[in-house]
């Protein structure tokens, strides 16, 4: 899977960069889009090579981040359009997908997207049971029952007559 209309192996043109995901897919990205990521900007400043290998971002997640970067690098789009793109971007995405996205934006230092994704995840998390949070974040409860009860007791105010959801 490659996000370019060219056939055959990619060669980076002037003012563009090739970014390779951990599963080997390559994406041709304009430099103006790539530098919206603080990490990519640093890499590009430091090396001549126009190929960047990201060893911890998979192709699906990378494709999404690049779509975001390209949209935000497009001078022809108004800020309003970019904002509605951001909303559309996160709407309807599974929590798991958002998890990979927030991690990728953290690694790539794309602050605005990181905020947008984190906010969406926060909205989904609201009023959810602790069991839901553990499941969706894939977290083991490492408290003893006594320790958990104690923490709950200390924050008792947060547990008053709340209707929590598990889906």
Residues of the shown chain interacting with another protein in the complex, contacts defined by CB under 8 A: 22, 56, 99-100, 102-103, 106, 114-115, 118-119, 121-123, 125-127, 130, 133-134, 137-143, 148, 151-152, 155, 157-159
Least separation in angstroms between residue 99's CB and another protein is 6
Nearest residue to 52 (alpha-carbon basis) of 75, 28, 70? 28
Q: Closest CB to another protein among 14 and 162?
A: 162
- Output the smallest distance, CB 149 to another protein, in A: 9
CB 87 within 8 A of CB 93: no
Which three-class secondary structure state does DSSP give residue 118?
helix
In this complex, which beta carbon is closest to another protein, that of residue 32 or of residue 109?
109
Dihedral, CA of residue 66, residue 68, residue 69 and residue 71, to nearest 10: 120
The angle at the Cα of 155, spanning 149 to 160, to the nearest 5 degrees, equals 95
Choice between 81 and 112, CB closer to another protein: 112
Q: Minimum Å distance from CB 44 to another protein?
A: 24
């Amino acid at each position: 899977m490659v996000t370019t209309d060219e056939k055959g192996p990619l060669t980076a043109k002037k003012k563009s960069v090739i970014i390779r995901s951990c599963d080997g897919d390559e994406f041709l990205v304009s430099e103006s889009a790539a530098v919206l990521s603080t990490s990519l900007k640093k890499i590009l400043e430091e090396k001549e090579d126009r190929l960047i290998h990201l060893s911890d971002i998979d192709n699906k997640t990378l494709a999404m981040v690049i779509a975001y970067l390209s949209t935000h690098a497009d001078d022809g789009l108004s800020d309003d359009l970019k904002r509605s793109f951001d909303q559309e971007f996160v709407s309807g995405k599974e929590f798991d997908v958002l998890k990979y996205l927030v991690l990728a934006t953290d690694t790539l230092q794309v602050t605005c997207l990181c905020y947008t994704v984190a906010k969406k995840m926060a909205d989904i998390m609201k009023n959810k049971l602790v069991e839901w949070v553990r499941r969706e974040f894939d977290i083991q409860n490492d408290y003893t029952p006594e320790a958990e009860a104690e923490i709950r007791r200390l924050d008792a105010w947060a547990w008053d007559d709340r209707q929590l959801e598990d889906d």
